[in-house]
Amino acid sequence: MKKSLIIIILTLTYVLNVNAQGADSLAYNPFQSQKEQSFQSPTDYASQLQTGNQKFSIKQSFNRNATYAGLIFIADGLIVKAQKKDFRTIKTFFQPHFKESYDNYIQYAPVAATFALKALGVKSASSWKRMTLNSALSYILMAGFVNGVKYTSKEMRPDNSSNNSFPSGHTATAFAGATIFQKEYGYLSPWYTAGGYAVATLTGITRIMNNRHWISDVLVGAGLGIVSTDLGYMLGDLILKGKGVQHKAMNDIPDISENGSFLSLTVGSSFGSGHLTAPDVYDQYKDDMTPNGHAMNLVLQTGRSSSVNIEGAYYLNKYFGVGGRLKASALPVAVESFNSDFNYNVETGGSLMPENLFKLEGLESSHLGMIDVSVGAYASLPIGRRLRVGTKLLVGNRLTTDYSVDAIFSCTNTVTKNLLDDYIGSAADTKGDITHDEIDPNLYHNSDFMEIKANNALTIGTGLSLTYAVKKDVSFMLNLDYDYANPKYTFVLHNRYSTDVTNAGVIDDTFEEKTRMNFLNLNFGMSIVL
């Protein structure tokens, strides 16, 4: 399914480019300076498309309408698809009961705003005929792409209500409308573009919060909405031969040399070093609770994570600005090592059970979810009209989800099947998530072995960025960021049962430890130049 989606998009792009090779190049050249452009009015643009024996140029239409941003969103969605459930866990942890219905309505807000402004007499880039035709074609293509993928992929929704989750139709509708709004009114001010895409982004976020879509559904839906609108406007140009152009809009040469203000959405991967090392916890204790036995010596290793970033900055002058970033990361955590001599569930007194009831055979760890909210100073330097290189220094707060470590264990030689049956109750009963059908050599699983919680932590970040303007108001952004935090983790180990007849029950070991977390983040996505 992933391959089919990529093939559809790339094929369409390829066909357009191939056809462009045999067509005459007319009017707009994106690599010319603004002074070199031969046309300055919409009338000139339309007339040049129809002069003499020259045919309408598909290349002209492609250069005019293609933003490429949709392909970036689709690629981003496919990148995070493997960790879609991990991102859902972050949502469930922080907002488990979120339920709103406004996403059913705001998905239409950008396109409704487009036609409302037109009706109020605000001049758009297109005539009524051209705007209506291009919008209709955009939504027809969007519906075809979205439903074609939905009913071939048959992916279950997060709430298990139906198997048409991928991609998000609401998000595709919203981003198609936002792109129409940008093409028609983006020339007036970049804030029109930012406003339209902000509403579309809110639609996608709400679909995730409502547990109706995975994050990959939303990103790919956004990409299909943008791609469909780009293609819809190209087809409209083919049909109308350039008629109905009231403002050259997207033909304006992008220039970000004087203003670095931006609003971006990027997706990428984080690479870092992070070891969560549990302080010594022992399988046995003396009567005075001093250690007497084997230490667990648990070491957890963090892996490569996926992250989604919403970032923006307002520049006070040509070079310096202030801004902030919201970053959500899904971080895999794997067990690096532990003491295989550690025994699970030990006797602390009494004589109901023998010591060292279970032997620890292995551990399994879930992923770690993190949300960073940071603000700080931004600086950038223009390298020509279309390229800026920048840096930043951010300070913020890191929120971390709770996660767990599961235990895999076996019975020690000191335990007989009959004794274990007496302790558990029967082969079908459970006690402390401990179950069994037969004693040996089967392994058993305990999903409530250890809980790990993190307090809010100070995070410091910096990095380098490249911003390249591809169209008016629309740029690509590449970020290489470094983040540092030293959170305090609380480990709760459910490792022992008291066997005292008068005081039976679970005894938990609770301890704290600070852990240095260093991450190098590589992100790529779309940026709106403000």
Within a domain: 21: no
Virtual CA dihedral for 474, 476, 480, 482, nearest 10 degrees? 30
Three state DSSP letters for 269-317: EEEEECEEECCCCECCECCCCCECCCECCCEEEECCEEEEEEEEEEECC
**Burial class of residue 450, CB neighbours in 10 A (0-12, 13-18, 19+):** buried
Asked whether residue 176 carries a pLDDT value surpassing 70, the answer given is yes
Average confidence (pLDDT) over 438-452: 64
Neighbouring C-alpha atoms within 13 Å toward the C-beta of 189 = 6
Question: 404, 445 in Cβ contact below 8 A?
Answer: no
Query: In angstroms, how far is the first alpha carbon of the chain from the final one?
Result: 37
Which of 195, 220, 251 marks a domain boundary?
Answer: 251
Residue 170 in any domain: the answer is yes
More confident residue, 161 or 354: 161
pLDDT recorded at residue 441: 45
231 vs 349: which has the higher pLDDT:
231
Which pLDDT score is estimated for 408? 78
Q: Does residue 342 form part of some domain?
A: yes
Q: Say how far apart CA 237 and CA 231 lie, in whole Å.
A: 10
pLDDT of residue 360: 77
CA angle 151, 153, 159 (to 5 degrees): 85
Most confident of 140-144, 363-367, 473-477, 518-522: 140-144
Give me the number of domains the chain comprises: 2
Confidence category of residue 252, pLDDT binned at 50, 70, 90:
low
Domain-located, residue 464: yes
pLDDT tens digits, residue range 316-358? 999 999 999 999 988 888 888 888 888 766 544 444 444 445 6
Give the model's pLDDT for residue 353. 46
Q: Which one-letter amino acid corresponds to residue 504?
A: A
> Does residue 208 or residue 52 have the better pLDDT?
208
Q: Which of 382-386, 402-406, 467-471, 499-503 has the lowest mean pLDDT?
A: 499-503
Instruction: Tell whether 269 and 247 lie within a shared domain.
Output: no
Q: Are residues 216 and 269 in the same domain?
A: no
Q: For CA atoms 338, 339, 343, 345, give the dihedral sign.
A: negative
pTM over 0.85? The answer is: no
Could you tell me if residue 30 is inside a domain?
Answer: no
Percentage of the chain modeled with pLDDT above 70: 75
Which helix (H) or strand (E) covers residue 60, if one does? Answer: helix 58-65
Do 462 and 352 share a structural domain? Answer: yes
Q: Which residue has the higher pLDDT, 58 or 1?
A: 58
Is 259 a domain residue?
A: no
pLDDT at 426: 47
Specify the DSSP element, H or E, that contains 519: strand 517-529
Structure-token pair, residue 495? 């490792």
Q: What percent of the chain has pLDDT over 90?
A: 40
- Same domain? 225 vs 164: yes
One domain, residues 295 and 444: yes
pLDDT tens across 293-314, in order?
788 888 888 778 889 999 999 9
Residue 28, pLDDT score:
35
Region 121-149: mean pLDDT is 94
Residue 364: pLDDT band (50, 70, 90) is confident
Over residues 15-42, mean pLDDT: 36
Residue 82 DSSP label: G
Residues found in the chain: 530
The residue among 48 and 288 whose pLDDT is bigger is 288
Amino acid at 3: K
Residue-level pLDDT at 507: 63
- Residues 6 or more apart from 43 whose CB is under 8 A from it? none
Strand order in the sheet with 358-365: 343-344, 358-365, 403-411, 444-454, 488-498, 505-514
Amino acid 249: pLDDT: 58
Q: In what order do the strands lie in the sheet with 333-337?
A: 275-277, 299-302, 333-337
Does a structural domain hold residue 330? yes
Q: Which domain holds residue 380?
A: 264-529
Neighbours of 260 (CB within 10 A): 27
